Structure 1
């Protein structure tokens, strides 16, 4: 079952896609978009999480630039649009919007209290920043782009964070991966898994670099992590 949630901030209001499980009460997960908006890939992730017993909420984080973005990774024109949005995006404002989404999600009927976050690509960076800057109870980052610039913020991290890194990620080069791993691998709240041979977005169903086996492994790790930390 899905619905639309409106989240109000001092800067304005934006919408979020909400998928609900069959249970009357459940923990929640905020799903943080890639550079393609709240598209079918993100809605399907929400629906899958709902099927696993979570309330899933995917906010429209591009609303300050252009509300309602819903594009794919299947054409050159859409990629051009996606990178224009990415370049115009204010990361700090995005984290603020995620914090507002977490607060609104906690107040939803049927949410049992704990709220996690999961993000992919741009959302992977935002999931890391959500972990260190907000009160999310547990966060998961998939191949976050630009995370190496923010590793110092991990000193503020007080709740669990799971990270998935593609070893052949064209947007997170080896040098950036080394910065991330050197800074974070021994942090008591952080669990990191790397995936040999995988490129960026290996878990995006239908994407050019999708790998069903490693996506399944990563998603199973994420599900177990959320069940352990949000239950």
Structure 2
């Protein structure tokens, strides 16, 4: 499927949020996927991943997740400086701002002629957590979380009652959780903690673990695993094909 790409600058309670839109070319109304990047924002690998999903018949929105803290169009490098800056931005942004960002994107999507009003979410790394956070919105029908960082911790945020895992009652859609067993950011005990809480809550979810390291979906760097990445995309398209069509 041929796709097209656009830029939309969306108003949010915390300022303008640059959002990159990738969607099928031509006429039609399509389901929407809110696609959340790593801490580095829309890098080349993230843009290519979003376009892969768009090519399967979805309108894919990639927001600048730290828009309050950087000039519009900021992309961080996959290096120590970029990692330090991204982690500092993650710590500095109040978690409630992610919720208002999600609400702003969903409201905007509902007004677009190319959208059919059905919305899901997907993300990698911190974006996997932000996709999980998006699932708190009642409009989100399904969510694909790839190696979601910090879900097993109480550091994002540290205020009681606002951590994503403390608001499982708000999730009404289906979740898909994908992990790497050799991920040094999310140890086995952390994954087990998440699994236990999702199970106790009685949420509808699937769980997939692969022999892979953190960032195995990123098509740059030593940890990229093309075979497992392809399987990840297949799992995501199967999930959204069942839930957003």
Q: TM-score, normalised by structure 1?
A: 0.91
Q: Secondary structure at the match of 2:67?
A: coil
- Correspondence for 2:56 among 42, 52, 59: 52
CA shift in 2, pair 1:207/1:94, >3 Å: farther
- Match in the other structure for 2:161: none
Report if the CA contact (8 A) 1:142-1:163 is conserved. yes
User: How big is the alpha-carbon RMSD for the aligned residues of Structure 1 and Structure 2?
Assistant: 1.7
- Match in the other structure for 1:219: 233
Report if the CA contact (8 A) 1:106-1:115 is conserved. no
**Partner Cα separation in structure 1 for residue 110 and residue 181 of structure 2:** 35
**1:138-177 CA-partner distances (Å, limit 9, x unpaired):** 1111111111244342233211111112122111122211
Question: Do residues 5 (structure 1) and 8 (structure 2) align?
Answer: yes
- Correspondence for 1:69 among 74, 89, 94: 74
- Match in the other structure for 1:84: 88
**1:119 Cα deviation from its structure 2 partner:** 1.1
Q: Secondary structure at the match of 1:144?
A: coil
**Partner Cα separation in structure 1 for residue 74 and residue 95 of structure 2:** 17
**Partner Cα separation in structure 1 for residue 113 and residue 69 of structure 2:** 30
Q: Which runs of 5+ in 1 are unaligned?
A: none
**1:15-46 CA-partner distances (Å, limit 9, x unpaired):** 10011203522111111111001222222122
Report if the CA contact (8 A) 1:23-1:53 is conserved. no
Q: Secondary structure at the match of 2:99?
A: helix
- Correspondence for 1:31 among 26, 30, 35: 35
- Match in the other structure for 1:172: 186
- Correspondence for 1:42 among 28, 40, 46: 46
- Match in the other structure for 2:213: 199
Return 199-208 or 53-62, whichever deviates more.
Answer: 199-208
**Partner Cα separation in structure 1 for residue 182 and residue 198 of structure 2:** 19
Return 5-14 or 160-169, whichever deviates more.
Answer: 5-14
Return 114-123 or 141-150, whichever deviates more.
Answer: 141-150
**1:181-215 CA-partner distances (Å, limit 9, x unpaired):** 122246341111111x3111111111331111111
- Match in the other structure for 1:190: 205
Report if the CA contact (8 A) 2:13-2:100 is conserved. no
Q: Secondary structure at the match of 1:147?
A: coil
**1:59-105 CA-partner distances (Å, limit 9, x unpaired):** 112111113221232x3322232222223233331232122112212
Q: Secondary structure at the match of 1:49?
A: helix
